[in-house]
Amino acid sequence: MERIIYGVSDFVAYINQTIEFAYPVVEIEGELSNIKTSQDKWVYFDIKDAEASVRCFGMMYMLPGPLEDGMRVRIVGAPKLHPRFGFSINCQSVHLLGEGALRKAAELLAAKLDKEGLFDQARKRPLPHPPKRIALITAGTSAAYADFIKIAKERWVGLTIDFYNVLVQGDASAEQVVSAVETANKQAEVADVVVVIRGGGSAEDLASFNDERVVRAVAVSRIPTLVAIGHEIDVSLAELAADVRASTPSNAAELLLPDKKRELQDLSTMSRQLDQLAQGVITAKKRQIVHTAMLLDEGLRQCYSRAAAKLAALNNILTALDPERPLALGYALVLQGGRVLRSVEQLAPQQLFQVKLSDGNIESQVKSIERKIPKITEE
């Protein structure tokens, strides 16, 4: 056998080629220790068991949330021998194992995101009611999908559902859900609401919806979000970040969509009420018109009576002022040249004058004038 002697860098390169060919990607389960971060971009940690420890590093974005020493995880990554730092795993993903680790990670992430204000009620937006287009994110083979579609069809019509088929558990689930939320927000015909649903399961089954990447994707969606994960007792961080949380996928459809039967009943009731209201208004207006007509009629009668009385009074005045009226009572007018004579001083003997009576005129001549002696009043 020929003896081969390597230089250090050549040996490292040879080993890396061998590892890359034999083990391009590995999955390792173990316990976390010595977790450190750098520049909010890189994370370094060891994964160990009772007898060995392997150094790991990766990008912060691939973490499901804050990690602590002692958590049990499964990592996926590529093994590599670094020229200076030795053997390590370049992590592509980290998955929490066991309910204890999942619960602790969720608590740490909840505290972090709550401090950032991601769960504040002031951020919550109302859902459109009813929506015309829904972006539905779930597994196409799941009971959650079947329940939502069934209830949606029963409750409402004219609805467009853009379906995004994703894994709702497992290693690739979180990444697929994030991608679906982001894609829904980028569509030319933007949906009115993003709905993320999943049925019940174990803590590990629901872990994707406590993943920081999923929670942030839901929180920053520019489209209002409705999230329903698991059963009523299950509450995920994605639900807390959503604009509205539903207890179950079925409840999500009920919250989002009105019941068309009830809506039709309400419309029928409103129609009857409007008809009754219209009839009431018409009846009231008719009464008002009749009452107004009566008032106008009475007013016209009173005006006519007042006018008639005034006319009669004026007629009486005119009659009283008629210069010929005294003639009918036996009086006469004495005229000369068409002028009424009021004093004997206006005539002289032998002058002609006229006497006007009620039934004719008399031509007369003055024979003599007898003046009236004025009365002398004592002072």
Global model pTM greater than 0.85:
no
Q: What is the pLDDT of residue 84?
A: 84
Predicted confidence at residue 379, as pLDDT, reads 55
Roughly what angle, to the nearest 10 degrees, separates helices 99-116 and 212-220? 30
At 232 the pLDDT is 67
State the Cα–Cα distance between residues 179 and 177, nearest whole angstrom.
5
Closest to 144 (Cα-Cα) out of 282, 249, 218? 249
* Spatial distance between the Cα atoms of 214 and 106, rounded to a whole number of angstroms: 13
Question: What's the pLDDT score for residue 376?
Answer: 65
Cα(272)–Cα(254) distance, integer angstroms? 27
d(CA 211, CA 93): 12
Contact assessment for residue 113 and residue 119, using Cβ atoms and an 8 Å cutoff: yes
Instruction: Quickly name the fold that domain 121-258 has.
Output: Rossmann fold (3.40.50)
Backbone torsions φ then ψ of 188, nearest 5 degrees: -65, -45
Cα(63)–Cα(73) distance, rounded to whole angstroms? 11
Beta strand 133-138 with 193-198: parallel, antiparallel or unpaired? Answer: parallel
Helix, strand, coil percent values for the chain (each to nearest 5): 40, 25, 35
Domain 8-97 matching CATH 3.40.190.10: the answer reads no
Cβ–Cβ under 8 Å, residues 90 and 51: no
What is residue 350's predicted lDDT score, i.e. its pLDDT?
86
| pLDDT, one tens digit for every residue, the chain (379 residues) | 678 888 888 888 888 899 888 888 999 988 888 888 888 889 999 998 888 889 999 988 888 888 888 888 888 999 998 888 888 899 998 888 887 888 888 888 899 999 999 999 999 999 998 899 999 999 999 999 999 999 999 888 889 999 999 999 988 899 999 999 999 999 989 999 999 999 888 888 888 899 999 999 999 999 999 999 987 676 889 999 999 999 999 999 999 998 877 767 777 788 888 888 988 899 999 999 998 989 899 888 889 999 998 998 888 888 777 777 777 777 888 888 888 888 888 888 888 888 888 788 888 888 888 887 776 666 5
Name the phi and psi angles at 274, rounded to 5: -65, -40
Sheet with 339-340, side-by-side order of all strands? 339-340, 333-336, 352-357, 360-365
Supply the pLDDT for residue 377: 63
Task: Say what the pLDDT of residue 101 is.
Answer: 81
Q: Which helix (H) or strand (E) holds 349?
A: none
Residue 134 exposure: Cα atoms within 13 Å on the Cβ side = 28
**What's phi and psi for 82, nearest 5 deg?**
-85, 140
The dihedral region occupied by 158, where left means phi > 0, alpha psi between -120 and 50, and beta the remainder, is: left
